[in-house]
Chain A
Amino acid sequence: MELVVRLAGAAGQGVQSLGEVLVRSLFRSGLFVHGELSYHSRIRGGENAFTVRLADRPLFATRREADLLVVLTPEMWRAYGARLRPGAWVVAEEGAAPEGPRVLRLPALQLAREKLGLPLAQGVVLLGAAARLLGLNPSAVERALQEVFGAKAGPNLQAFALGWERAPGPAWELPPPRFGPGERMLLTGGQAVGAGALAAGCRFLAAYPMTPGTPVLEFLAQRGERYGVVVEQAEDEIAAINMALGAAYAGARAMVTTSGGGFALMVEGLSLAGMIETPVVIHLGQRPGPATGLPTRTSQENLLFALYAGHGEFPRYLTAPATPESAFYLTMQAFELAEAYQVPAILLTDQFLVDSYAVVPALDPGRVPLREHTLSPQELERLERYERFAPTPTGVSPRALPGASRHLVLVDSDEHDFYGRITEDLEIRKAMVEKRLRKEGYLAQETALPEVFPAELRGRVALLGWGSTYGALREAVEALNREEDRYAHVHFQDLWPVRWAEVEELLREARAVVTVEGNAWGQLGKLLRQETGIRPARHLARYDGRPFTPEDIVEAMRHAA
């Protein structure tokens, strides 16, 4: 059982709110949903589409074609009217779509204006009709309307009723609830990163607004007072990373959030984090480039950039969450590993993951144990002498905080000695490079190998992906294997450091490797070849700014076969 509902209108018509209401209504009905927001970089006009999938099993991908299309404007009919599955229904503003079978046209704008004096409620009228066609329980929708519109729910509840009473009975029968209240959670990837940061004890965030990094800034800003986080909108991204490093040096768990262009400005600061061995978590939400690119669209173009950004050689932790669930846990882990190894940690997400809703098992912050990784005042008092960069077998030096004891803490962007003092002693330089790089080997023991499905890879064509393409790839491999059982899905989240010898051993079993990535170059493929010598047979690329759908991958693989 699966249905796809697409809500489409111009920016300013409230499509995102409608999508949230629908997603919440289905979630409250105990169903798995996925909600994907696709929008133009503007405040009025253009195109806004919210695609909601519902099913009786977890979903982490979107679809090209819809079973129920709700259109507010003729432009949206032209954009999406052809992308319908057989038997689809259309609910349209009168005049937005031509008459036809299974087309329900309503004078929603007129109803909203004349009966409610609120033209903006036009979309809710159409949503009311769509909800009835879907067979939703009206009380679930009413609750969702209250959750999304809050104090302004009143006229929207009336608008909903106006649409509901004008629709025929259900066109579909929804499955019975698959989970009860409290068992599952509904959240976007952006909310998951924000919640993971709070759960990991993030105390400081500095950021300059940039889509799709901004949702994390706003999530923490709105909860900072309650959870004890200072959130500051910096004058630019360079300030943001340097402020975060200052805060981290002082002892606050610190984070920045941005997109490719802002990360480019942070690169010198990233290198500083490597040099002064100060933890910082960088959320990098990808969008298509180069330069400003497509600000509100999605991409996976920054894997190699995130991996190699920064002059000089230093270790980092790089991870790309697959779903909102793993975004929560990997954000927590990024904070822990950054603290434990005194390295920068990069969370590589994208617009699709940040903005999409999914239903996940109830999150349990206890799954990622937190530890204090700095010397306590008592431990410091016992020390005769303190050196911030003292050599150790792992390369990780005991970290003191300034002001915590009589010991002074000195860090330097120049090459420095064990104390932190600037040096041009080239023997010390060598020792410091080795100390910094030694940490990487230990860090590699803590990262996860790619997930393999099905577990036995021998003789199969391995479809390789990373990050947010997880859902589309898994569904595609399941669909392909129903036709011919010869495919596998290999998915990376942790992308550096990786125990490449183990990856090589694993992938040598496969008949062939195909990379599936939201970029033109096949960046994971390049990395794989560099680190293991394995050359992907093919690269399925997507670089039009849209997320992969399962059918994109199935069709491309069928075509190749």
Chain B
Amino acid sequence: MRPEEYFAEVEMAWCPGCGNFAIRRALALALSALALPPERVVLVTGIGQAAKIVHYLRVNGFNGLHGRTIAAAAGIKMANPSLTVIAESGDGDLYGEGGNHLLHNIRRNLDLTVIAHDNRVYGLTKGQASPTAPQGYTTRAQPFGVLSRPLNPLALAIALGAGFVAQTFSGEVEKTAEILARAIRYKGFALMNVLHPCPSWNRVQTFAWYKERLQPVEALGHDPADRLAALSLVLSPGEDRLPVGVLVEAPPEPTWEERHPVLRQGPLVGRPLPRPEELRPLLAEFL
């Protein structure tokens, strides 16, 4: 399928110039490159401007609750591991409200791809700071500036042992698409943090601001098999250098669904309902 065939023909609620358009295009390019039939893909999103992407692409969709994106995606994957399941939402949803699900699903290592739209603000609720907003960033809700340090999702995922961790910039659509395809193809938990400007609310981290700071990790000779080197890359640069590219791509370990004895016999979906005679040993426990 051509990338455009993954686009749903609907009116979109994103602001002009939003990085979300580019991420949508990158995902369509990746799905097309992987030749994934739309009916074999489930896109799971939460709530926020980024999360609306589920309505703008022609695949199966589960648009759940704010923050619960990865939890719902995990349930879908556990029930039917034969589907390609992608969890996608904003930084507030995935790193704020849903932080606990991120932690524990990195541990689970289901074959899931998580795409975070990281623009450091809450767009839909009009500009409050997100967990990745820098210290001192002022908004109407943070009049003294953000007092907390920003969350470092890359360091977190790398430290917890996520198999695939990457960061890209929405302004680089082709590169984002190429790495997204690698993330989706990767057998195990993959986190894609996509930096993107918010032209409506974030007047500090603009398109130009990002462009000046991007630092492709390939150019640094980074080896994605070297987890410690990746950790040092994402911990060291601060705000003036933003590493982009594949930070970690570890040799795949058995996924949760591959290790589960029930799922080794195939998906849960499509199994017949139990017949009364099959329940005899169960009921015999009470005799």
Q: Which residues of A contact B (CB under 8 A)?
A: 181-182, 185-187, 191, 195, 198-199, 201, 203-204, 206, 223-230, 232, 234-236, 238-239, 242-252, 254, 268-269, 272, 276, 362-366, 370-372, 401-414, 420-422
A-B contact pairs, 22 of them (CB 8 A): A185-B283, A187-B286, A191-B286, A195-B286, A204-B79, A239-B104, A242-B68, A242-B101, A246-B75, A246-B77, A250-B268, A252-B268, A252-B269, A276-B62, A402-B39, A402-B42, A403-B269, A411-B63, A412-B55, A413-B63, A413-B65, A420-B61
**B39 close to A230 (CB less than 8 A):** no
- Nearest residue (CB) in A for B63 is A412
Expressed in whole angstroms, the Cα–Cα distance for A519 and B265 within the complex equals 46
**B273 close to A370 (CB less than 8 A):** yes
**A230 close to B274 (CB less than 8 A):** no
Q: Is B215 an interface residue (CB 8 A)?
A: no
B52 partner residues in chain A, CB cutoff 8 A = 422
A239 partner residues in chain B, CB cutoff 8 A = 68, 71, 74, 100-101, 104
A181 partner residues in chain B, CB cutoff 8 A = 287
**A269 close to B68 (CB less than 8 A):** yes
B62 partner residues in chain A, CB cutoff 8 A = 246, 249, 276, 411
**A228 close to B63 (CB less than 8 A):** no
Quick one: CB contact mask for B27-71 with A, threshold 8 Å, 1 for yes?
000000000011110101001000010110011111111011001
Expressed in whole angstroms, the Cα–Cα distance for A420 and B260 within the complex equals 32
Expressed in whole angstroms, the Cα–Cα distance for A371 and B273 within the complex equals 8
Expressed in whole angstroms, the Cα–Cα distance for A371 and B60 within the complex equals 25
A contact patch SS? mixed
B42 partner residues in chain A, CB cutoff 8 A = 250, 402-403
Expressed in whole angstroms, the Cα–Cα distance for A323 and B228 within the complex equals 58
Q: Is B23 an interface residue (CB 8 A)?
A: no
**B283 close to A245 (CB less than 8 A):** no
**A250 close to B286 (CB less than 8 A):** no
B260 partner residues in chain A, CB cutoff 8 A = 230
A412 partner residues in chain B, CB cutoff 8 A = 54-55, 61, 63
**A247 close to B78 (CB less than 8 A):** yes
B54 partner residues in chain A, CB cutoff 8 A = 410, 412
A244 partner residues in chain B, CB cutoff 8 A = 75
Quick one: CB contact mask for B212-243 with A, threshold 8 Å, 1 for yes?
00000000000000000000000000000000
- Nearest residue (CB) in A for B10 is A421
B262 in complex: contacting residue of A182, A230, A420, CB < 8 Å: A230
B61 in complex: contacting residue of A251, A366, A370, A411, CB < 8 Å: A411
Q: Which residues of B contact A (CB under 8 A)?
A: 10, 37-40, 42, 44, 47, 52, 54-55, 58-65, 67-68, 71-80, 82-83, 100-101, 103-104, 260-263, 265, 268-271, 273-274, 276, 279, 281-283, 285-287
**B268 close to A228 (CB less than 8 A):** yes
Expressed in whole angstroms, the Cα–Cα distance for A191 and B79 within the complex equals 24
- Nearest residue (CB) in B for A272 is B65
B64 partner residues in chain A, CB cutoff 8 A = 242, 245-246, 272, 276, 413
A232 in complex: contacting residue of B37, B65, B78, B279, CB < 8 Å: B78
- Nearest residue (CB) in A for B102 is A235
B55 partner residues in chain A, CB cutoff 8 A = 410, 412, 421-422
A201 in complex: contacting residue of B47, B76, B79, B274, CB < 8 Å: B274
Expressed in whole angstroms, the Cα–Cα distance for A471 and B76 within the complex equals 41
**A225 close to B101 (CB less than 8 A):** no
Specify which of A203, A227, A243, A412 lies most central, judged by the most chain B CB atoms within 10 Å of its CB.
A243
**B287 close to A198 (CB less than 8 A):** no
A252 partner residues in chain B, CB cutoff 8 A = 78-80, 268-269
How far, in Å, is B255 (CB) from chain A's closest CB? 13
**B80 close to A251 (CB less than 8 A):** yes
Q: If the complex has contacts A199-B282, A229-B262, A238-B68, are A247 and B61 also in contact, measured as CB distance less than 8 A?
A: no
**A403 close to B75 (CB less than 8 A):** no
A235 partner residues in chain B, CB cutoff 8 A = 100-101, 103-104
**B39 close to A243 (CB less than 8 A):** no
